[in-house]
């Protein structure tokens, strides 16, 4: 089976046929850098990282462009409230975003354009839309330019809505709109906004609307037509609908497949900042191994929602421990043979699951099934079978970005120094002694060990899966 992908535009799983044979171009909408990234934001990065790894593994040359929205209403509001320059505010959270996706083992995109670096391309596109009769400068002197929704009969094709049934676009003051559903391509400068947040244009000083930036940047780096356009499901409307309309109305065929990932939910609701800081990537990776967090985000199918809970992160940590303990045992039995795992080791069943719309749940089942067989082989001392299983497991982990011996995880370990595994081993040994002391009801000895570890700055938590240690904040 070749790669098949669910296309949000046609609402069907379709065989994937790239525009240029052997090459894939992907654009996914990056973050508006207005606050610290939480798991809901970062799931998209992990999903598209797995897509990219799978397509590369399948032999495609993959080019990924993911933008950074570094100017918009929220950035202006929040920076003003914080009393910092809007660009300093945006840049700070852009760095946090980079830290977050590096922490979870996501490869950086081929290129990451910033909206503010592409104002001329946006102006060019807006001018083309005005020429073609699909956009207009507001007659009220505000300097706004709007897309004329009624002039584009296909509007609504992506999200399956009829224009007549749509609500007003709330992205701008309806200062000079012909129709409330028209959306802003360009926003005239307001005296209340900093001068630095405006650029010259044929319609006066101002700044771009949100949607136009992606059409302009995707066009610049991937061409008028490209393969996959993605983002979180909440972007399908209005953001992607508007990107599609304005690109096609300007004569560009635009994306061939639309790929949207589901939300991370908390108590069934879309995760957002209002839920507090507990789900910030920077916080979660302090409590759980980063590879476990990645595993937790990629194991469910990308189109389904992932419910946030400590229980599921604990489960992912336990799954990761199963993987690593298998690799350790297999490494001991086969003298590290799997480090040279050939690509052909990837199980066909795993490939089938991944080819079927990036079916990670099926792929994970093959992974854990292979680990189980491998453990049986290790128990029985069957070296060849253990080699086969470990090579297969390592290939699968490579595709999922979870191989502890591959970048970026090797880099991550060495940046903490080679002491990390040593410390880990010593703490584990102490925890085992403490466990043994408790088992013989020598609570004084057990508490003494805990206090000793605490004095070293380690926090011990007893979980159903055993004691876990973390460094205290």
The minimum distance between CB 29 and Zn ion, in angstroms, equals 3
Task: Tell me the C-alpha distance between 398 and 346, whole Å.
Answer: 10
> Which lies closer to Zn ion via its Cβ, residue 218 or residue 396?
218
The minimum distance between CB 156 and Zn ion, in angstroms, equals 18
> Which lies closer to Zn ion via its Cβ, residue 24 or residue 29?
29
The minimum distance between CB 425 and Zn ion, in angstroms, equals 46
The minimum distance between CB 67 and Zn ion, in angstroms, equals 7
> Which lies closer to Zn ion via its Cβ, residue 29 or residue 358?
29
> Which lies closer to Zn ion via its Cβ, residue 255 or residue 313?
255
Interacting residues with Zn ion (CB under 5 A): 29, 214
> Which lies closer to Zn ion via its Cβ, residue 29 or residue 297?
29
The minimum distance between CB 214 and Zn ion, in angstroms, equals 3
The minimum distance between CB 329 and Zn ion, in angstroms, equals 46
Burial class (CB in 10 A: 0-12, 13-18, 19+), 425: exposed
> Which lies closer to Zn ion via its Cβ, residue 52 or residue 236?
236
The minimum distance between CB 218 and Zn ion, in angstroms, equals 8
Q: Which residue's CB comes closest to Zn ion?
A: 214
The minimum distance between CB 453 and Zn ion, in angstroms, equals 48
Q: What would the 3-class secondary structure string for the chain be?
A: CCCEEEECCCCEEEECCCCCCCEEEEEECCCECCCCCEHHHHHHHHHHHHHHHHHHHCCCEEEEEECEECCCHHHHHHHHHHCCCHHHHHHHHHHHHHHHHHHCCCCCCCECCEHHHHHHHHHHHHHHHHHCCCEEECCCCCCCEEECHHHCCCCCCCCCCCHHHCCCCCCCCCCCCCCCCCEEEEEECCCCCCHHHCECCCCCCEEECHHHHHHHHHHHHHCCEEEEEEEEHHHHHHHHHHHHHHHHHCCCCEEEEEEEECCEEECCEECCHHHCCCCEHHHHHHHCCHHHHHHHHHCCCCCCCEECCHHHHHHHHHHHHHHHHHHHHHHHHHCCHHHHCCHHHCCHHHHHHHHECCCHHHHHHHHHHHHHHHHHHHHCCCHHHHHHHHHHHHHHHHHHCCCCCCCCHHHHHHHCCCHHHHHHHHHHHHHHHHHHHHHCCCHHHHHHHHHHHHHCCEEEEEECCEEEEEECC
Task: Tell me the C-alpha distance between 41 and 38, whole Å.
Answer: 5
The minimum distance between CB 464 and Zn ion, in angstroms, equals 43
> Which lies closer to Zn ion via its Cβ, residue 252 or residue 294?
252
The minimum distance between CB 147 and Zn ion, in angstroms, equals 15
> Which lies closer to Zn ion via its Cβ, residue 214 or residue 367?
214
> Which lies closer to Zn ion via its Cβ, residue 217 or residue 358?
217
> Which lies closer to Zn ion via its Cβ, residue 213 or residue 314?
213
């Amino acid at each position: 089976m070749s790669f098949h992908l669910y296309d949000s535009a046609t609402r069907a799983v379709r065989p994937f046929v790239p525009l240029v044979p052997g090459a894939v171009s992907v654009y996914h909408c990056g973050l508006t850098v207005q606050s610290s990234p939480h798991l809901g934001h970062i799931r998209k990065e992990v999903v598209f990282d797995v897509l990219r790894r799978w397509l590369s593994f399948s032999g495609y040359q993959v080019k990924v462009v993911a933008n950074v929205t570094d100017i918009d209403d929220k950035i202006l509001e929040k920076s003003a409230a914080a009393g910092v320059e809007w660009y300093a505010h945006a840049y700070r959270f852009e760095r946090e975003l980079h830290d977050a996706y590096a922490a979870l083992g996501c490869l950086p995109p081929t290129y990451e354009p910033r909206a503010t670096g592409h104002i001329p391309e946006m102006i060019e596109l807006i001018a083309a839309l005005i020429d073609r009769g699909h956009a207009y400068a507001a007659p009220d002197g505000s300097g706004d330019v709007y897309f004329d929704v009624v002039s584009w009969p296909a509007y609504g094709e992506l999200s399956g809505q009829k224009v007549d049934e749509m609500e007003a676009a709330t992205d701008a003051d309806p200062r000079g709109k012909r129709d409330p559903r028209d959306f802003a391509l360009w926003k005239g400068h307001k005296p209340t906004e900093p001068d630095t947040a405006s650029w010259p244009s044929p319609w006066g000083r101002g700044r771009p609307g949100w949607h136009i930036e992606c059409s302009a940047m995707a066009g610049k780096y991937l061409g008028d037509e490209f393969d996959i356009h993605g983002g979180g499901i909440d972007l399908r409307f209005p953001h992607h609908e508007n990107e599609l309309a304005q690109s096609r109305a300007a004569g560009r065929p635009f994306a061939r497949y639309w790929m949207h990932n589901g939300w991370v939910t908390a108590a069934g609701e879309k995760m957002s900042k209002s839920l507090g800081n507990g789900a910030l990537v920077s916080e979660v990776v302090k409590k759980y191994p980063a590879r476990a967090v990645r595993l937790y985000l990629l194991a469910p199918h990308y189109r389904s929602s992932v419910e946030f809970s400590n229980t599921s992160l604990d489960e992912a940590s336990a799954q990761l421990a199963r993987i690593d303990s298998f690799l350790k045992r297999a490494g001991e039995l086969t003298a590290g043979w799997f480090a040279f795992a050939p690509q052909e080791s990837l199980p066909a069943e795993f490939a089938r699951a991944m080819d079927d719309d990036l079916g990670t749940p099926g792929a994970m089942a093959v992974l854990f099934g292979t680990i189980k067989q491998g453990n049986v082989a290790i128990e029985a001392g069957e070296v060849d079978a253990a080699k086969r299983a470990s090579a297969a497991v390592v290939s699968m982990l490579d595709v999922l970005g979870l191989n502890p011996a591959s970048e970026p995880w090797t880099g991550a370990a060495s940046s903490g120094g080679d002491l990390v595994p040593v410390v880990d081993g010593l703490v584990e040994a102490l925890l085992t002694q403490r466990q043994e002391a408790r088992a013989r009801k020598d609570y004084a000895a057990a508490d003494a060990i805990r206090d000793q570890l605490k004095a070293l700055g380690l926090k011990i938590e007893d979980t159903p899966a055993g004691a876990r240690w973390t460094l205290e904040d």
